[in-house]
Every structure is written in C-alpha cells, then in structure tokens.
Amino acid sequence: MTYVLEMKEMTKKYGEFLANDKISIHLKKGEVLAIVGENGAGKTTLMRMLYGLEQPTSGEIILNGRNVKFSGPLDAIENGIGMVHQHFMLFSDFTVTENIVIGHEPKRNGFFNRKAAAEKVKELSDQYKINVNPLKKAGDCSIGEQQRIEILKVLYQGADIIILDEPTAVLTPLEVEELLKTIEFLALQGKSIILITHKLPEVMKVADQITVLRNGRVTGNVLKQHTDVEQLATLMVGRELQKLTQRVQLDGEPLLVVDNLTIGGKEEKPILDDLSLTVHRGEIVGIAGVSGNGQSELILAITGLRKIDNGSIRLGETILDGTSVANRRSAGLAHIPEDRYLWGAAKEATVEETGLMGYYRKKTFNQSSFIRLNGFRELLKGWIDRFEIKTPSLDEKSGNLSGGNLQKLIVARELGFETDFLIAAEPTRGVDIGAMEYIHEAIIEKRNNGDGVLLVSSELTEILTLSDRIAVMYEGKIVDILNRKEATEEKLSVLMAGGN
C-alpha cells in the first residue's frame, strides 16, 4: 500500500526538552487521520515540522514516495500541503474572495482580475460544497464562515493534504456538524486530511485512523473501527479516567435570584432581555448558548463588572445590584472568569500576586493594611500541590505559565474563597484532561456541600456532565430550562439555534 505522506521517527529537541520523540505517522489518499493528545503532547510541534515552520532534529518526511525537506510554509504549500490554523489569519477589511486568492491572484494584463477570482472561488465552493458569500467582507463573517474561507484558501492553493489544527474549538455545535460533513466530503474527493484535536467524540465521527500522542511519544495508532472513546482517553491520559463523584439529591432554597434583568434596548435590540433566573443551594445551573447571546454580559452583570439598565439581583438575603464588586465578593460570590488573561490575572504580576487577589483584604492575611505574605504563601503552596500547578517559583510572572496552569491557579483561587456561590465561566478552557477531571470534581463537591454554582460553558459535554438544570440562552433571553434527565445534546443544539 502506498502512502501519500509518511513521517518517520520525527524527533524535535528544544535544548534538553524532547517535544517529539521518534514520532511516525502515515496517511493514505482520501484518508482522515486524527492526531489526538492533551496540551503539550507534541501535536503542534509535529505539524509545524510538516508545514516547514520548524526543522526536525532528526527524522524524515516522505511525500508521494519522495524524501522532502521544507524550509518554510511556502515550500510546504508548493508541495500540496495546506494548514488551517486554530487562529484564523484573514484580513478583515478584504472580501472573502480577496482573502482566498491572496498571494496567487488571477491576473489580466498584470492587474488583479477580480471577476476571474470570484468565479474561481464560486467554482471551488460548488465543487467542495463549502458555502461562502464571495463578496462579503471577511470581518463581517461568522467564525464558522471564516473557517470555511481558510479551508477554501488552502484548496485554492492546491493542497492535497490539509492539516486542520483544533478546528472545532471555536465553533458552535451546528457549525461543528457542518465542518465534519465537509471533512468527510473532502476525503471522498480524494483529499487527505490531518485533524489535530483533543475532542474524542468528533474523532470517532470522522477519522479513519487515529494516532494518539502523550508527552511527545506515540502511545497508540488505531483504526476507528477497532477503538472507542474510552480507549482513546486512556491512551491520551495514560490511565483510566475516574467516574465523577455521585451527586447527592439536595432541595436547597433559592440562593441567586435574578429578576427581569435588562441591559440595553432603548434604541436597538437589548443584550439582556428581561431575564430571570434562580440558582438554588446545592445546585449547578448550566447556561448553554452560542457565544454572543448575552452569556458574558449576564456574568458581568451579576459580578458587578457591568451596569444594568433594569432588574434586580439577589444573593441570599443580600441585594447585589448597584453595589460594588468588592461588596458582592464579600457577600459570598466567587467568579472564574471566561477570559483568564483579561479578567483573571495580570500577565506582569507574579504567581503570588495573581493568587493574592481578594485574599489581601481578608483579616487573616492583612494586619493593619500590611499584607501577611508568609501566611498566604502556605495557602498558595497548598493550591499548587492540590491542583498540580506547574510553576518554577512563586515569583514567576503569571504570563509565563502555560494557559492550563494559569487556569488552574485561578480556579484554585476562586474555589479557595469557599463562598456560597460560584460563577464558573469556561472553567476548563485549555486545561488538560487530568486537570479537567479535577476541576469538575471540585465543582461537584462544592455543589454537594450545599453551595450554588452557575456554569457557563461553550462545551456542551461539560454542561451536560455537570449541570442539574440547563438554561438555554438565545438573543439575551432564556428560551428554555431543561432538567438534567431530559436534556440531550440534540435538544440543546436546536434550542441554542433559536428553534423549539
């Protein structure tokens, strides 16, 4: 059997650190190969070597039976390898067509031939059933559309092997479905696809062959029909996943009560539209929704980071609306923010300083306005042990921590307040499976203790795993609230798209 692509014993060393240790993969024409692994497993390094962005320390790349070496992405593109990056690289002021043909524009008399370009794009879009509007500005396109532009760009450049780097991380469930169909169709048309991801259900839907990486090594290479999600997860993590703690049935009294909350809406459509929501003690309420339907604003309104135009917010007996952030926090609110770099930490601050936020006001750590750092350090070290936060020292700049480790620090800090109520927005974004388990465990434990949790997540599986009740947000309203038992991914997807 001939392969279109083989990578043999690829090794990449950064100083002493082995990012890739003799990794081999192979790919047939029209095949979908999924490369799965946790953050830091070496997926990205491997693909960067294939795409010419990094030079391997050793190993060889065999393309259509020829030994090749790429000095850069242009080289790779010439040889029919295209990559769709996780973060799109589009010019937002250019049209879809212009973005696709950029660098290889069709010309007439030396000038850019717009008409030919648009036709060419139309042709490609029909051939591969990838829907775009050629004349729209890229900046006005949704995330899903932008991704389709990137895929068309790669096809336009003549790629036969397409690398997709974590393509579903930013998509809504419906867009994911569509993308998976596109991938299947592309494979059917004879393109070979490399899908880099850590989302196993998607892998099980589209991949033919799966290579699992852990700590820079291959831990498994299997065909889809011979494996399942559990086996892949075990290969990824290196051990079997634990079953989540049993949830205790609790019928707590109302804790967070939001009534008729409204933001905006005088001249245009309101961002939050007369929204009411209750979280009881001993309950996790999950908010599902396509991002941009008011979830972020709801969190900011509850935590006091954004002004509201109407409505009331109560936590237990305390009225929150109109009070300061500090007041709300001391009334018993903790908050894992959705954007850890914007809200959750300061990159320039040390690990200790990022952890100290909020605690410096507590009597235990504040002696007539001098901060008792020694006492706090003990607490901080406890978090670092418990959550296995990897940092060279407490004085390391927070921005130098990996995203997952910083997230763990923030989660530890907010759980450490031991408040009655927790807002957890994207609590496991970017963390590896082991840490995700731990964070989920901690959130359920908090619930079982009789505290209330409001969970906002773009991962439907996370919402379904953790929530007791699931509220679906659409255009600033809660369109439905489902019980844990009745909620399914399908039902939620429909509601999230505004259907019934």
Partner 1 sequence: MNRKRKLQQLLKSLVQPLTAVLIGLLTGAVAISLVGASVLETYKVMWDGAFGNFYFVTATFARATPIILIGLGLAIAFRAGVFNMGAEGQMVLGAVSAALAALYVPGSGIIKILAALAAGFLAGGLWSLLAGWMETRFKVQLLISTLLLNYVAVLFAGYLVSHPFQDKSGSAALAQTPMIDQVAWLPKLFPGMSVHMGFVIAIVLAIILFIILRFTSAGYEVRMLGYNPFFAEYGGINKIKVLLYSMFFSGGIAGLAGTVEVLGSQYRYVEGSLTVPGYAWTGLMAALLANSNPLGTAVASILLAALQTGAMGMERNTEVPLEIASVIQGVLILFVTAKITMNWWKVKKKGRDIHGAA
Question: Which positions lie near partner 1, rule CB under 8 A?
Answer: 296-297, 303, 305-306, 324-326, 328-330, 335, 337, 342-349, 353-354, 356-358, 360-361, 366, 369-371, 373, 392-393, 395
With 0-12 / 13-18 / 19 or more C-beta atoms within 10 angstroms meaning exposed / middle / buried, residue 254 is middle
- Our separate counts of H helices and E strands in the chain read 16, 24
Q: What is the nearest approach in angstroms of partner 1 to the Cβ of residue 118?
A: 30
Minimum gap (Å) between residue 370 Cβ and partner 1: 6
Rounded to the nearest angstrom, the gap between the alpha carbon of residue 368 and the centroid of all alpha carbons in its chain is 42
Minimum CB–partner distance for residue 139 and partner 1 (Å): 12
Distance CA 495, CA 500 (A): 6
Please give the full DSSP string across 359-380, using - where no structure is assigned: GGGSGGGEETTEE-HHHHHHHH
Nearer to partner 1, 81 or 141 (CB): 141
Nearer Cβ to partner 1 (133/350): 350
Task: Indicate the DSSP class of residue 226.
Answer: G
Q: CA 313, 492, 433 angle in degrees (round to 5)?
A: 90
CB 455 within 8 Å of CB 424: yes
- 185 or 360: CB nearest partner 1: 360
Residue 54 amino acid letter: E
| C-beta closer to partner 1: residue 109 or 393 | 393
Kindly state the smallest distance separating residue 339's Cβ from partner 1, in Å: 8
Shortest gap between Cβ of 381 and partner 1 (angstroms)?
12
H or E element, residue 43: helix 43-50
CB 288 within 8 A of CB 463: yes
Cα gap 434→280, rounded to integer Å: 29
Closer Cβ to partner 1, 114 or 397, answer by number: 397
Contact, 482 vs 470, CB < 8 A?
yes
Structure tokens at 401: 């921590």
Residue closer to partner 1 by CB (options 187, 345) is 345
The least distance separating partner 1 from the CB of residue 153, rounded to whole angstroms, comes to 25
Q: Which two tokens stand for residue 233?
A: 């997860």
Q: How far is the CB of 371 from partner 1 (least distance, A)?
A: 6
Which CB sits closer to partner 1, 353 or 475?
A: 353
